[in-house]
Amino acid sequence: MKKNNRHAKKNRILTAESFFEKLSVSVLFPPCFCFPLFSYPNGYPSWEKRISVFGEKKYSKNNKYICIRMNKKNITVEEVAGALKHVVHPATGKDIVSSGMVRDIEIEGLDITFTLVFAKAQDPVKNAVTGACEKVLRFYVHPDIRVNIRVLPLQAKAAAQPSFQAGHIVVIASGKGGVGKSTVAVNLAVALVSMGYRVGLLDADIYGPSVPKMLGVEGVQPEVRIIDGNERILPVEREGIRILSVGFFIRPEDAVIWRGPMASGALKRLIYQSEWGDLDFLLIDLPPGTGDIHLTVVQELTVDGAVMVGTPQQVALADVIKGIGMFRNEKVNVPVLGLVENMAWFTPAELPGNRYYLFGKEGCKQLAERENLPLLAQIPIVQSISESGDNGQPVVAGKDSPTAQTFMELAQNMIHQLNRL
């Protein structure tokens, strides 16, 4: 008995309990993850079964100590696939092998390379899943393996693709309501049309759609047509712009009282079940804030850039900063093309040379410099802009005023930034 104990000390033998308690902690996720990425379909393995995956095991006579000797055996594709079956994607509840996410497994010695295909280009649990893959492979196959994972988005099926081709998809965002974001979106769309581009405008402000009123099509109901056996919504056309909005399907006096999933579902229908045709630009007027609609847009469409709209006031700029942070987040990863400073100053009609800075001076300009972003335009407070929005006649349409010229310059600057990407 003493000889066995000395042998155990000489070989630094660990108890199975102490060895695997430490190992188990390393493969579990923090409490913030409430889904089982690391699963054991047949129950949690016994100490003997868990330790046997690494190599040969030896027991002392009292069966208290275990000696491990690593095998230099060849790793097989079947072993790798079997280990990866223990990783479950939380959205589907299925393991990543059975659901077809794992492809192209390559093995060279202790180097394992394979491809993980995610249904969405910006899957929020991508990092968690890839991390779990590395841990289960080191746990079930070999602790010294080197793992290289190629991550690819799943190519959307034809039935789930939008029925249009757009040269550029640009979102117009603000972070805060009431700063003139929709006014900028509408007049930017008209400016692009006047430059000869084919333009679509999607009003994604589900809870406060104002694009129909600003373009004089409030109360119009889009036509629905059967195309290739499927219902397709035909966008309403005004000023050469193809327009869709939830506002076409509700009465102006009705409030939209929807939870996030229902609002996102409505937006997806406008994206996928509408006959937009081919476009040079699709502008998307986002709601204020940083919520479900924003995530739905960037997950369902390949957004080329974001235009942030704000006012010089510090209260508004605080939310613009949050909006910039959202687009720069690795889960969103949309380039910010630049800032638009709306309500930059007030110029009365009788004193066109005077400027009165009602909300502060050059707040967006200073923020753009700090964030290393271009200032795309400074738009003054002009009575004609407000009146044109109320009357459904965009200020850019058919007018050669200084204000219209400002929106034309905005369109040119935005195109310049897109061409630099």
What is the average per-residue pLDDT within 77-106? 89
Angle at which helices 126-140 and 16-27 cross, to 10°: 160
User: What digits encode the pLDDT tens for the residues 111-151?
Assistant: 898 988 888 766 778 888 999 999 999 999 988 889 989 88
* Distance (Å, whole) CA 187 – CA 394: 6
Q: Kindly tell me if the per-residue pLDDT of 409 is higher than 80.
A: yes
Domain with CATH 3.40.50.300 in the chain: 163-420
Q: Which of 70-74, 213-217, 227-231 comes out lowest in average pLDDT? A: 70-74
What is the average per-residue pLDDT within 250-255? 80
* Distance (Å, whole) CA 10 – CA 64: 16
Check if the beta carbon of residue 326 is closer than 8 Å to that of residue 297: no
What is the average per-residue pLDDT within 358-384? 90
Residue 12 to residues 2, 50, 253, Cα–Cα distance (Å): 15, 19, 77
pLDDT score, position 162: 65
* Distance (Å, whole) CA 207 – CA 266: 11
Share of the chain above pLDDT 70, in %: 79
Q: Three-class SS string for 71-118?
A: CCCCCCHHHHHHHHCCEECCCCCCECCCCCCEEEEEEECCEEEEEEEE
Check if the beta carbon of residue 195 is closer than 8 Å to that of residue 307: no
pLDDT score, position 242: 95
* Distance (Å, whole) CA 289 – CA 108: 49
- More confident of the two residues 206 and 202: 202
Residue 65 Cα to chain centre, angstroms: 51
Domain with CATH 3.30.300.130 in the chain: 2-153
Q: Which helix (H) or strand (E) holds 16?
A: helix 16-27
User: What digits encode the pLDDT tens for the residues 386-406?
Assistant: 888 888 888 887 667 888 899
Half-sphere exposure at residue 280, Cβ-oriented, CA atoms within 13 angstroms: 14
Helix (H/G/I), strand (E/B), else coil: 140: helix
Q: Which of 42-56, 91-105, 232-246 comes out lowest in average pLDDT? A: 42-56
* Distance (Å, whole) CA 310 – CA 292: 21
Check if the beta carbon of residue 328 is closer than 8 Å to that of residue 306: no
Q: What is the mean pLDDT of the chain?
A: 79
Beta-carbon neighbour count of residue 411 at 10 Å? Answer: 24
CATH number 3.30.930.10 given to 2-153: no
pLDDT score, position 161: 56
Check if the beta carbon of residue 362 is closer than 8 Å to that of residue 399: no
181 φ/ψ angles, rounded to the nearest 5 degrees: -60, -45
User: What digits encode the pLDDT tens for the residues 16-45?
Assistant: 444 334 333 333 333 333 333 444 444 444
Tell the CATH topology of 163-420: Rossmann fold (3.40.50)
What sign results for the dihedral spanned by CA atoms 277, 188, 309, 368?
A: positive
DSSP summary character for residue 250: S
Question: Which residues on adjacent β-strands are paired with residue 257?
Answer: none
* Distance (Å, whole) CA 324 – CA 173: 9
pLDDT score, position 252: 77
The tokens describing 284, both together, are 């998307």
Q: How confident is the model at residue 96 (pLDDT cuts 50, 70, 90)?
A: very high
pLDDT score, position 8: 43
What sign results for the dihedral spanned by CA atoms 190, 191, 192, 193?
A: positive
pLDDT score, position 188: 96
What sign results for the dihedral spanned by CA atoms 88, 91, 93, 97?
A: negative
User: What digits encode the pLDDT tens for the residues 162-196?
Assistant: 667 889 999 999 878 888 899 999 999 999 999 99
Q: Considering just the CA atoms, what is the radius of gyration of the chain in Å?
A: 29
Longest dimension (CA), the chain: 106
Check if the beta carbon of residue 231 is closer than 8 Å to that of residue 190: no
